[in-house]
Amino acid sequence: MLLTDHQTDLLQAHYTSTYVGYSGANSLTDIIKLSGVLVNEDRVHIDLFVPELYTQTFVKNIQENVKLSCLFTSVYTLETYQIKGTYLGTRPCTAAEINLQKAYVEGFGQHRVNLGMKNGLAFVKYYREPGIAIRMRAEEIYEQTPKTGTGKKIG
């Protein structure tokens, strides 16, 4: 599947809240809030950025199960999608990716302030170095905006 322009823009926007989900052999899904996302030009491969500090269970689980899910939503409209796909690898973040994450956490925090959360910029401290990039191949996408009938596979 290919991500559309709209899905790509939403996934990378600073007003978008993003998460990755992964399960181990024990069938327990864990969740990490992401500190940034970058969609490859091919619209199939996605780099999910996260501080290494939050990846303890990820390192163990991904050796047992390579299936990943990425959830993303606009904090203003709640327009939401979930991408399901396959883990391809991890690597340290580049300098450009570190800057991308710093810009994201500050931008995201500011959008929370705009929504009336006076301390929204506290989210900036969520970002810690070192960060890692998790590469994922997108295979399916589902609409998950909270409304009746949601959950439909759209790609």
- Residues contributing to the site for another protein (CB under 8 A): 19-23, 27-31, 33, 54, 65, 67-69, 71, 73, 78, 80, 82, 84, 109, 112, 117-120, 122-123, 125-126, 144, 146-148, 150-151
Least distance (Å) from another protein to the CB of residue 22?
6
Distance of closest approach, residue 140 Cβ to another protein, in angstroms = 9
Alpha helix stretches (DSSP H) within 69-124: 95-114
Q: Which residues are 37's β-sheet partners?
A: 48
What's the closest the beta carbon of residue 59 comes to another protein, in angstroms?
16
Tokens 């990755």 sit on residue: 20
Q: Which is nearer to another protein, 33 or 43 (CB)?
A: 33
Strands 45-51 and 131-143: antiparallel
Of 60 and 147, nearer to another protein (C-beta) is 147
Q: Which is nearer to another protein, 5 or 26 (CB)?
A: 26
In the three-class reduction of DSSP (H, G, I as helix; E, B as strand; rest coil), residue 117 is classed as coil
Q: For residues 49 and 18, give the distance between their C-alpha atoms in angstroms, rounded to a whole number.
A: 10
Pick 27 or 95: Cβ nearer another protein: 27
With beta carbons less than 8 A apart as the criterion, state whether 51 and 128 touch. Answer: yes
